[in-house]
Structure 1
Amino acid sequence: MENNESTQSKYDAALAKYNTNLNDAEVAAEVAGIIAEKVPANNTPEVKKFLFNCIDLTTLNSTDSDESVMKFTQKVNQFDEEFPDLKNVAAICVYPNFAEVVKDTLEVEDVKIACVSAGFPSSQTFIEVKVAETAMAIMEGADEIDIVISVGKFLSGDYETMCDEIQELKATCKEHHLKVILETGALKTAANIKKASILSMYAGADFIKTSTGKQQPAATPEAAYVMCQAIKEYHALTGNKIGFKPAGGINCVNDALIYYTIVKEVLGEEWLNNGLFRLGTSRLANLLLSEIKGEEMKFF
């Protein structure tokens, strides 16, 4: 019991350095203000090109096959030929069993291979399975790993197990980026989202990500704002820059502009690069391309 108390206090001590006593209505009002005042100025071709270059182009369907993933990847190869004036997407995101297919098919430089792992999207499996799946994904060619926190452990106050898992998975990833998904829709409150953000960074996340896209509500501007505030405060205390990735429910260009604006306003220009900012989406690529080119594009 003593041991449990000391570890619990370790996490409480980490959280105590931050203001986690947030009011949801105040957060919503802050965000509404930013959206109303700042988003219109960011609605430019340059920002849209930048956002395109931040996309983790994602296919996570039960119907995915070697053939469909190969075609998906070939589209990214073709993009470089057809649009030489535009920067490509940041990454292709697939299930771990397709990492090798993407690796064998991908011909363009600067596009990473990301895999969801560790019992995605529920994260409800044994830590040994999570570690094995992650190690295999990296062995097969993944550059980046996206995992989900043990939401049930977090909500039960078992921060130790949640953080130990992230730590172990980061150790498995070594130099490869670990993106930690909070599943903000399940956390519900701004206070919970702030706490989960801090604990995930503290445990070794290179990126924190809103959602799996498999549960509603998915990403929201309010969750993004709270997460970016947490990243800012964590950076101020530790000097570590952690990336931010909204994902799930990014259905239109304006959604992407809102997330861009929140990052710009809260974290500043330093975070406006695809090393620290990603968008998890499958729909957005064609929509952004259409707006950049001024005609309807169904390239992907």
Structure 2
Amino acid sequence: MEYKEEEKSKYEVVLNKYNTDLSDKDIQAKVAAIIEKKVPENDTVEVKKLLFHCLDLTTLSTNDSEESVMKFTEKVNQFDEEFGEMDNVAAICVYPNMAEVVHDTLETDKVQIAAVSGGFPSSQTFIEVKIAETAMAIMGGANEIDIVISVGKFLSGDYETMCDEIQEIKDTCKDNKLKVILETGALESASNIKKASILSMYSGADFIKTSTGKQQPAATPEAAYVMCEAIKEYYEETGNKVGFKPAGGLNTVKDALIYYSIVKEVLGHEWLNNKLFRLGTSRLANLLLSDIKGKEIKFF
């Protein structure tokens, strides 16, 4: 027990370097101002092309099969032939058992292979299972891994277990990117979102991500603002650049423009590329293409 108290204090020391006493109302006001003033000026074809290039094209359905994932991947292959003047999506994101199907089907090395892992979407399984699943996904060809924090452990103040899991999974990933999902809709407050962001980055996250899309509310602009502020402060404190990924509930082009505007205002131009900014969605692919081309396109 003494060991756990000592470990917990280590995480409290980290958190004390940052302002985690946040006002939800204050954040709502700041986000509303960005949406009102900045989204209209960012509504351009060039921005939409960048947003398309930042997509993690995702299929996480109960009825996914080798055949359906193969067809999904083949569409990404065909994109370069039909829209050669545009940059392709950033990644294809699938369940871990489908990483090998994507790897065997994908013809371009510019599109990454992401797999959800670690007992996605609840994270309610043994750490040994989380590590094994992650290792098997990477063996299958995944070079990016998306996991969910142990939300229950975090909310009960057991930062040690939550952070140890992230560190162990990152060790398993080695040089492959680890995206850590906070499931912000379950975190109850802006202060908790800020704390979870900092602890995830401290534990080795290469990206922090809002949501699984399996729980409501999913991504919100307010959560995104808090996470981007955490990324900025963490970079100023450590020199480490961590990426940001909103996911879940991105239904319209305006949604994408809102997240772009928040990243631009809080983190600046350095983060406006698909090495540090991703959007987890599939439905936005056709909507962005349609806006870019000025006509309805149902390619994906």
Q: Distance in 2 between matches of 1:188 and 1:163?
A: 19
Where 1:97 maps in the other structure, the secondary structure is helix
Q: Distance in 1 between matches of 2:109 and 2:298?
A: 23
Q: Distance in 2 between matches of 1:123 and 1:17?
A: 28
Q: Distance in 1 between matches of 2:9 and 2:109?
A: 45
Where 2:251 maps in the other structure, the secondary structure is coil
Q: Distance in 2 between matches of 1:185 and 1:43?
A: 27
The aligned counterpart of 1:285 is: 285
Structure 1 runs (4+) deviating above 2 angstroms are none
Q: Distance in 2 between matches of 1:3 and 1:121?
A: 30
| Residues 169-202 of structure 1, C-alpha deviations (whole Å, 9 max, x = no match) | 0000000000000000000210000000000000
Q: Distance in 1 between matches of 2:62 and 2:10?
A: 40
The aligned counterpart of 1:12 is: 12
Where 2:180 maps in the other structure, the secondary structure is strand
What are structure 1's unaligned runs of at least 5 residues?
none
Q: Distance in 1 between matches of 2:264 and 2:277?
A: 10
| Residues 40-74 of structure 1, C-alpha deviations (whole Å, 9 max, x = no match) | 10000000000000000000000000000000000
1:109 CA displacement: 2.6
The aligned counterpart of 1:158 is: 158
- Aligned length in residues: 300
User: Which residue type is aligned with residue 16 of structure 1?
Assistant: N
Where 2:154 maps in the other structure, the secondary structure is helix
The aligned counterpart of 1:107 is: 107
The aligned counterpart of 1:200 is: 200
Q: Distance in 1 between matches of 2:78 and 2:52?
A: 15
Q: Distance in 1 between matches of 2:138 and 2:48?
A: 31
Where 1:297 maps in the other structure, the secondary structure is coil
Q: Distance in 2 between matches of 1:215 and 1:247?
A: 11
1:23 CA displacement: 0.6
| Residues 51-109 of structure 1, C-alpha deviations (whole Å, 9 max, x = no match) | 00000000000000000000000000000000000100000000000111000100023
Q: Distance in 1 between matches of 2:188 and 2:38?
A: 26
The aligned counterpart of 2:31 is: 31
User: Which residue type is aligned with residue 125 of structure 1?
Assistant: T
1:5 CA displacement: 1.6
Taking structure 2 as the reference length, the TM-score comes to 1.00
The aligned counterpart of 2:259 is: 259
Q: Distance in 2 between matches of 1:293 and 1:237?
A: 42
Q: How does 1:43-58 map to 2 (within 5 A)?
A: 43-58=43-58
1:255 CA displacement: 0.2
User: Which residue type is aligned with residue 168 of structure 2?
Assistant: E
Q: Distance in 2 between matches of 1:2 and 1:134?
A: 31
Q: How does 1:16-165 map to 2 (within 5 A)?
A: 16-165=16-165
Q: Distance in 1 between matches of 2:131 and 2:245?
A: 22
Taking structure 1 as the reference length, the TM-score comes to 1.00
Q: Distance in 1 between matches of 2:2 and 2:151?
A: 25
User: Which residue type is aligned with residue 264 of structure 2?
Assistant: K
Q: Distance in 2 between matches of 1:195 and 1:149?
A: 12
Q: Distance in 1 between matches of 2:12 and 2:61?
A: 38
Where 1:146 maps in the other structure, the secondary structure is strand
Percent of paired sites with the same residue:
77
The aligned counterpart of 1:234 is: 234
Q: Distance in 1 between matches of 2:297 and 2:108?
A: 21
The aligned counterpart of 1:209 is: 209
What are structure 2's unaligned runs of at least 5 residues?
none
Where 2:93 maps in the other structure, the secondary structure is strand
1:3 CA displacement: 1.3
Please give the root-mean-square deviation of Cα atoms over the aligned residues, in Å.
Answer: 0.4
Q: Distance in 2 between matches of 1:86 and 1:75?
A: 15
Where 1:122 maps in the other structure, the secondary structure is coil
User: Which residue type is aligned with residue 295 of structure 1?
Assistant: K
1:7 CA displacement: 0.6
1:2 CA displacement: 2.1
Where 1:217 maps in the other structure, the secondary structure is coil
1:263 CA displacement: 0.2
